[in-house]
Amino acid sequence: MHTPCIIRNALQHWPALQKWSFPYLRATVGSTEVSVAVTPDGYADVVRGDRFVMPAERHLPLSHVLDVLEGQAQHPGVLYVQKQCSNLATELSQLLSDLEPHVPWASEALGKIPDAVNFWLGEAAAVTSLHKDHYENLYCVVSGEKHFLLHPPSDRPFIPYEMYTPASYQLTEEGTFKVVDEEAMEKVPWIPLDPLAPDLARYPSYSQAQALRCTVQAGELLYLPALWFHHVQQSHGCIAVNFWYDMEYDLKYSYFQLLDSLTKAAGLN
């Protein structure tokens, strides 16, 4: 298992596929406060100048997030429910009975159960910048659609990394954003390139990378292997759940570490 694939009709047996409308969420968990990433432009965990900027975090009733998505309320910036620490279990446990606690065939193939189950809901402007994870990712779209841009681990020599001072957005009382350094944190390696509009004059090697694009629609599941680079967009109000299975630190991981070391030694980035 190390090739991305979309499995259609993978979630037809989940009650969530029929039940998770906005009215249902409002009635079931509307009063529940959830962690919400808030950014001025929809980009969380992104390079801005010489800073790696993380989103402001707010705890808001889910009903308020739904109101904003439906245009019934306003909130500064772009909202995205994307807390990646098993927020479905920790913040929205009332919804767990509407789906499986894991993906049975994946758990059998991988020989383990997932480390985290995450709930995703946000505006169309919310974007996940290009990055990789040390998890086997089973990404399930319940409603709407997600648009993925993918790069295999073998594209590492063509994908730039630089070190950045970590910072976070802070939302002021006036509803504006300011960037504040996270002084207790060490510098962060991150990808400065936007694959949708790459600056090839600055990063010419990216022209040699081979991007794959796919759209995952409601009821479909994307298997996204560990260490694959991915950039994600979504339709407005898209609802998704993903399962993170810890990767095996085997030959594939050793190969990637070697490739990463050779890339740095050659001064490619």
The residue ranges of every structural domain in the chain are: 5-265
Which residue in this structure is represented by tokens 């990463």?
260
Choose among 8, 118, 126: nearest CA to 75. 126
Instruction: State pTM to two decimals.
Output: 0.96
What whole-number percentage of the chain has pLDDT above 90? 96
The torsion angles phi and psi of 38, rounded to 5 degrees, stand at -125, 125
Of the CATH numbers 3.40.640.10, 2.60.120.10, 3.40.50.720, 2.60.40.10, which one belongs to the domain with range 5-265?
Answer: 2.60.120.10
pLDDT, one tens digit per residue, over 153-202 is 999 999 999 999 999 999 998 999 999 999 999 999 999 999 999 999 99
The two tokens of residue 140 are 């399930």
pLDDT, one tens digit per residue, over 45-94 is 999 999 999 999 999 999 999 999 999 999 999 999 999 889 999 999 99
Mean pLDDT of 128-142: 98
